[in-house]
């Protein structure tokens, strides 16, 4: 099994697929293709028909898009989703919301793990995205966390989907309190997250599209 990823400092999509594989203990090889290079798209297209990462390749099967990769893995490792049907439905709903929403936050706070300073100003739309995420984290921990550190108790697919937000909050100085703050700390302290962060900090490439101009 091989996972095609981009820069660990910038690629939130790559992070999700990588964390899902780590969460289930599936051995895999990773191939990293730096963004913003003259041959980036050409190299990605050798594996991914979408021309984007992440892309999972195994035994002639190619799966692209982070959420599709998570669902494919969950067929083999059902522990990625919660045990009950009701909780799985909620976990999938909040994961889909992350996958398709929060455009203001994505735009104003691109993932850049090496950054450590707040934005000079956040738009009302970005503030609304942050408030919604804090609400989701709080509600899931209280209703479904069962005393565990993560959204549904143990680390799973929903946590994988929100992991890039944890790095964004850290980079841009967003510090939620109470349940959401405890969840943020738990995500950032997860061993796989710390491993990814160390690799991101060691990278040297700079991609202007991910460097906020504030």
Q: 10 Å Cβ neighbour count for 160? A: 28
H or E element, residue 62 = strand 61-64
Mean pLDDT (whole number) for 4-31: 97
CA 20 to chain centre: 9
CA distance 121 to 108: 10
Q: What is the pTM of this model?
A: 0.95
CA distance 78 to 76: 6
Q: Tokens at residue 18, please?
A: 């990588």
What average pLDDT does the chain have?
A: 96
**Banded model confidence at residue 208, pLDDT cuts 50, 70, 90:** confident
Per CATH, the homologous superfamily of domain 2-77 is Glutaredoxin (3.40.30.10)
Class for the domain spanning 81-197: mainly alpha
List the domain boundaries for the chain. 2-77, 81-197
Rounded-to-10 torsion of CA 70, 195, 34, 170: 90
Residue 187 has what pLDDT? 98
Mean pLDDT (whole number) for 193-198: 98
């Amino acid at each position: 099994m091989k996972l095609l990823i981009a820069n660990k400092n910038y690629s939130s999509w790559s992070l999700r697929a990588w964390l899902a594989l780590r969460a289930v203990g599936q051995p895999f090889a990773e191939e990293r293709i730096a963004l913003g290079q003259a041959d980036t798209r050409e190299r990605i297209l050798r594996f991914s028909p979408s021309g984007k990462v992440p892309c999972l390749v195994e035994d002639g099967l190619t799966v692209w898009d982070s959420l599709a990769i998570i669902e494919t893995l969950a067929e083999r490792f059902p522990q990625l989703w919660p045990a009950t049907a009701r909780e799985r439905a909620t976990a999938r709903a909040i994961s889909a919301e992350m996958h398709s929403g929060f455009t203001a936050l994505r735009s104003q706070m691109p993932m850049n793990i090496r950054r450590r300073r707040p934005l000079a100003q956040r738009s009302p739309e970005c503030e609304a995205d942050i408030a919604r995420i804090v609400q989701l984290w709080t509600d899931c921990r209280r209703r479904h966390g069962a005393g565990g550190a993560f959204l549904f108790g143990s680390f799973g697919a929903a946590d994988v989907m929100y992991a890039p937000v944890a790095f964004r909050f850290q980079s841009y100085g967003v510090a939620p309190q109470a349940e959401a703050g405890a969840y943020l700390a738990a995500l950032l302290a997860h061993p796989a997250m710390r491993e990814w962060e160390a690799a991101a900090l060691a990278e040297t490439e700079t991609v202007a599209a991910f460097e906020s101009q504030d």
